[in-house]
Amino acid sequence: MRVGFFLAVRQLGRTNKGTTALIIFVMALTFLNLVFIGGILVGLIEGSTTTYRQLYSGDVIMSVLDKKPYIEDSPAAIAVAESLPWTRAVSARYVAGGLLEANYKDRTNYTDPPDQTNVLVEGMNPEDENSVTGIKNHLVEGSYLEPGDIDSVLVGSTKLYQYSPIDTPGLKTLKNVTVGTKVRIDIDGNVREFTVKGIVKSKVQEMDSRVYMLDTSVRDMLGRTDNGVNEIVMRLDSQSDADLAKQALMVSGIGDRAKIQTWQDAQPKAIKDIEGTFAMLGNIVGSIGLVVAAITTFIVIYINAITRRKFIGILRGIGVDAIAIEFSYVLQALVYSVMGTAFGILILVYILEPYFAAHPIDFPFSDGILVATFSGTLIRAALLVLASVVAGYIPARIVNNQNVLDAILGR
């Protein structure tokens, strides 16, 4: 091992510095390929789940039990939620299905189908809702609701043709609707006219497909006098407190009257399935990069060994053990891979991750970020080093097995 270490140091010291730098750079790019593609694919879904938590479910969400019209004894549930030490803000929502209709004043032929679509109508306290979800920051047109806007609504962008140009029997969007347009909303046969005050676009389907109005307006249309709400959303000081908050709500007995979920529990199953699929795709792409790294190392070491075949033959001829020679080439491959991986980690931590955190990729359904966990990064780095070491040993073994005399004479 001492002889092999000596030979490796001499060989690396006499190698062209430009060639060494190029090999290390290729190793760094290969490592980034292992981490980057999978990190972006997983980050795409990670951005979606983060947005879902921030803009819809909060850290903890309480919703209606099956076969119940609303959360029973809602004021008590709200009071308990607000009293928890981890709670920062709470928003109570009235949610009801309805019909949203536009252009009814311009309709002349009543045999034509009306310009209407099914919607979920959410009644909320504007200040409470904004403190939990920040919905005010996701208006692409118009302005946010004020406490006195009893005849105004916010419309989700997926219900408007100019933002979602889809018009199929199963998915109807309204045309010619903008800020200031009059619309009619029908909830259980109660029809009222409202003015569109703003349009919401957030990349969260559950948020962009709703119509928002004051809680008092929805309560009047539903004829609900007992303050029974359909959703209670909590924003906590830290998302890590979600399990504690859920446990405290269950202990208080609210779990008998409402479905209590943390933001992880409330994530749609489709998002979880896509996250697993994207992680698998990232591993597949990364595996290809790992093979490329091994081949690159093999070629570099093989060419190096072939060009120094005469030198290897002389070493063998004067009695240097074959294992020492092979060990020297393994050490060279180890140096290339470790330095390349270290360089790649520096690029990842100090350049790529901060950049994508500040400038997320604008996907249609989320803001994609780069997700590179500490454990995942170490595993990929170890795999790259291992593949490089194996790829460095094989060509050294091939050249070393040649006849000593043939190697010295170059035959």
Of 243, 262, 281, the residue that ends a domain is 262
Tens of pLDDT, residue by residue over 200-245, are 998 888 888 899 999 999 999 988 877 889 999 999 988 778 899 9
Residues 229 and 252 occupy one common structural domain: yes
Tens of pLDDT, residue by residue over 335-383, are 888 998 899 899 988 998 888 888 887 776 667 778 777 887 888 888 8
The pLDDT of residue 44 is 75
The pLDDT of residue 18 is 81
The total number of structural domains in the chain stands at 2
The mean pLDDT value of the chain amounts to: 84
Residues 191 and 297 occupy one common structural domain: no
Residue range 92-112: mean pLDDT, rounded: 83
Q: How many CA atoms lie within 13 A of 32 on its CB side?
A: 19
Tens of pLDDT, residue by residue over 114-157, are 888 899 999 999 999 999 999 999 999 999 999 989 999 999 99
pLDDT confidence band for 87 (50 / 70 / 90):
very high
Distance separating alpha carbons of residues 161 and 288, to the nearest angstrom: 43
Of 228, 262, 296, the residue that ends a domain is 262
Token reading at 167: 């018009």
5 phi and psi angles, rounded to 5 deg:
-65, -40
Domain carrying residue 375? 2-52+271-409
Residues 232 and 87 occupy one common structural domain: yes
Largest CA distance in the chain: 104
Residues 91 and 220 occupy one common structural domain: yes
Question: 360 near 367, Cβ under 8 Å?
Answer: yes
Distance separating alpha carbons of residues 166 and 120, to the nearest angstrom: 18
Token reading at 78: 């709200």
CA 80 to chain centre: 32
Residues 87 and 224 occupy one common structural domain: yes
The pLDDT of residue 108 is 66
The residue type of 363 is F
How far is CA 360 from each of CA 47, 127, 353, 355, rounded to the nearest angstrom?
A: 9, 28, 10, 8
Distance separating alpha carbons of residues 386 and 333, to the nearest angstrom: 10
Q: Is pLDDT of 407 > 70?
A: no
Strand ranges in 80-217 using DSSP code E only, listed in sequence order: 87-102, 115-124, 139-142, 152-156, 182-187, 190-200, 210-214
Q: Is pLDDT of 290 > 80?
A: no
The pLDDT of residue 326 is 80
Strand ranges in 201-333 using DSSP code E only, listed in sequence order: 210-214, 231-236, 259-262
Q: Is pLDDT of 297 > 80?
A: no
Residues 112 and 222 occupy one common structural domain: yes
Residues 30 and 147 occupy one common structural domain: no
Residue range 12-21: mean pLDDT, rounded: 77
The pLDDT of residue 169 is 65
Q: Which residue is it, tokens 């330095």?
A: 339
Distance separating alpha carbons of residues 53 and 47, to the nearest angstrom: 10
Distance separating alpha carbons of residues 227 and 215, to the nearest angstrom: 10
Tens of pLDDT, residue by residue over 42-76, are 777 777 788 888 888 899 999 999 888 899 999 99
Q: Which residue is it, tokens 């009235």?
A: 94
Token reading at 290: 């790992």
Residues 279 and 244 occupy one common structural domain: no
The better pLDDT of the pair 379, 271 is held by: 379
The pLDDT of residue 325 is 80
Question: Closest Cα partner for 210 from 285, 153, 172?
Answer: 153
For residue 60, what is the enclosing H or E element? Answer: strand 60-63
Of 232, 262, 292, the residue that ends a domain is 262
3-state secondary structure of 78: helix
Residues 338 and 392 occupy one common structural domain: yes
Categorise residue 58: left if φ over 0, alpha if ψ from -120 to 50, beta otherwise: left
The pLDDT of residue 411 is 64
Residues 275 and 319 occupy one common structural domain: yes
Residue range 265-272: mean pLDDT, rounded: 77
- The fraction of the chain above a pLDDT of 70, given in percent, is 95
Residues 247 and 388 occupy one common structural domain: no
pLDDT confidence band for 410 (50 / 70 / 90):
low
The pLDDT of residue 216 is 92
The pLDDT of residue 110 is 66
Tens of pLDDT, residue by residue over 187-200, are 988 999 999 999 99
Question: Closest Cα partner for 385 from 264, 294, 322, 263?
Answer: 294
Residues 151 and 17 occupy one common structural domain: no
Residue range 378-395: mean pLDDT, rounded: 82
Distance separating alpha carbons of residues 2 and 331, to the nearest angstrom: 12
pTM (2 decimals)? Answer: 0.72
Residue range 244-262: mean pLDDT, rounded: 92
The pLDDT of residue 389 is 82
For residue 225, what is the enclosing H or E element? Answer: none
Distance separating alpha carbons of residues 79 and 21, to the nearest angstrom: 64
Residue range 2-25: mean pLDDT, rounded: 79
